Amino acid sequence: MSEIREFIKKLPKAELHLHIEGSLEPELMFKLSERNKVEIPFKTVEEIRAAYEFDNLQSFLDIYYAGAAVLIKEQDFYDLTWEYLERCKEDNVIHTEIFFDPQTHTDRGISFNTAINGIHNALKDGEEKLGITSKLILCFLRHLDEDAAFKTLEEAQPHLDKFVAVGLDSSEVGHPPSKFEKVFAKAREMGLLTVAHAGEEGPPEYIWEALDLLKVSRIDHGVRSLEDEKLVDRLVKEKIPLTVCPLSNIKLCVFADMKDHNYKSLLDKGLVATINSDDPAYFGGYMNQNFIETAEALNLSKEELALSSKNAFNASFISKELKEKYCSLVDQVLK
Ligand code: ADE
Ligand code: ZN
């Protein structure tokens, strides 16, 4: 194994941008389709994998929402989350902050409780049995209206102890952050933190809106921020983290090739950039694969990889003490 791959394997990592529904591997999709007697339009696992060719975000989302239809019972959400945590263990991801999309499930008649309880119980077991700390983030689907988001936030009320923040995902272009200003204000009143996908396919203006109107602590993706110098200055000055997802960006044609990715430029400009997997079952790899492909294409140094990892711990929603502990583990590996 090359020296850089060896280093990445050993590096303690935090993941801050992972949709739990996007970690549904074809094998589990098949198993759940049989267990729950839900038909899927594929006969084999290979057929499912072969369908994962995307032109843009929407072409992926259509398949991603269809795949989620096999998730019916609390145990299914538990199994999904547990399998993801096992991948974390393999990749030395010691802290993870997971998105889930309640509306993807409630809109097809699955109760909010079923989804959140299955995910929450697996996260609890992950901490006890695998030593992986975690937080959960409730995402609103931005292609739906703000009233639907309000209804979801109401359903979430009895579970406020189980998640730390609200986020915003799904089809970006045409659905600016301003559409969700009121529901995010309500979430903040309830004591929740906020994050939002912005500047993945959408313009830099959406990142400004996420900061000014939704008061986000982090920007998910944010790779288009480099098109706006004033925005970069602000993100650097306010140390707003970007949760970048390199393999996702290639699969969804945000960049034509990993060699064209702007991840190194983000670091060079002093932005708090982090590496994440987004929807690893669909985009060809979990955390280590994202680190490896980015490092090899852009010639990232060990120092830059360690910085990416420390950026993620510092950008996470854990205590100051735990951040310091995790960052010192990174420093030990760098030495
Ligand atoms: N939902 C799952 N993955 C997403 C992505 N990359 N962008 C927006 N919404 C998503
Ligand atoms: Zn995402």
Neighbours of ion ligand 2 (CB under 5 A): 278
Whether the CB of 201 sits within 6 Å of ligand 1: no
Which ligand neighbours the alpha carbon of 143 most closely?
A: 1
Which ligand neighbours the alpha carbon of 200 most closely?
A: 1
**DSSP assigned state of 21:** G
**Could you identify the residue written with the tokens 């959140």?**
116
The CATH number of residue 222's host domain is 3.20.20.140
Q: Is the pLDDT of residue 81 over 90?
A: yes
- Residue 64 Cα: closest atom of ligand 1: 2
- Provide the 3-class DSSP secondary structure of residue 274: strand
Q: Please give the single-letter amino acid code of residue 151.
A: K
Q: How far apart are the first and last CA of the chain?
A: 19
* Structural domain boundaries, residue 297: 2-334
Percent of the chain whose predicted confidence (pLDDT) is above 90 = 99
Whether the CB of 22 sits within 6 Å of ligand 1: yes
Tally of structural domains, the chain:
1
Of 25, 172, 200, 293, which is the active-site residue?
Answer: 200
Query: Mean pLDDT across the stretch 11-19?
Result: 99
pLDDT in tens, 101-117: 999 999 999 999 999 99
Would residue 200 show up in a list of annotated catalytic residues for this protein?
yes
For residue 273, what pLDDT band results from cuts at 50, 70 and 90? very high
Q: Is the pLDDT of residue 1 over 90?
A: no
Closest residue to atom 10 of ligand 1, CA basis: 170
Instruction: Tokens for 188, please give them.
Output: 């903040």
Whether the CB of 169 sits within 6 Å of ligand 1: yes
CA–centroid distance, residue 333 to ligand 1 (Å) = 32
pLDDT in tens, 234-246: 999 999 999 999 9
pLDDT in tens, 300-328: 999 999 999 999 999 999 999 999 999 99
CA–centroid distance, residue 285 to ligand 2 (Å) = 14
Q: Please give the single-letter amino acid code of residue 316.
A: S
Distance CA 80, CA 65 (A): 15
Q: CA triplet 41, 42, 47: central angle to 5 degrees?
A: 140
HSE-up of residue 240 (Cα within 13 Å, Cβ side): 26
The rounded radius of gyration (Å) of the Cα atoms in the chain is: 19
Distance CA 122, CA 145 (A): 30
CA–centroid distance, residue 34 to ligand 2 (Å) = 28
pLDDT in tens, 43-62: 999 999 999 999 999 999 99
**DSSP assigned state of 320:** H
- Residue 172 Cα: closest atom of ligand 1: 8
pLDDT in tens, 174-210: 999 999 999 999 999 999 999 999 999 999 999 999 9
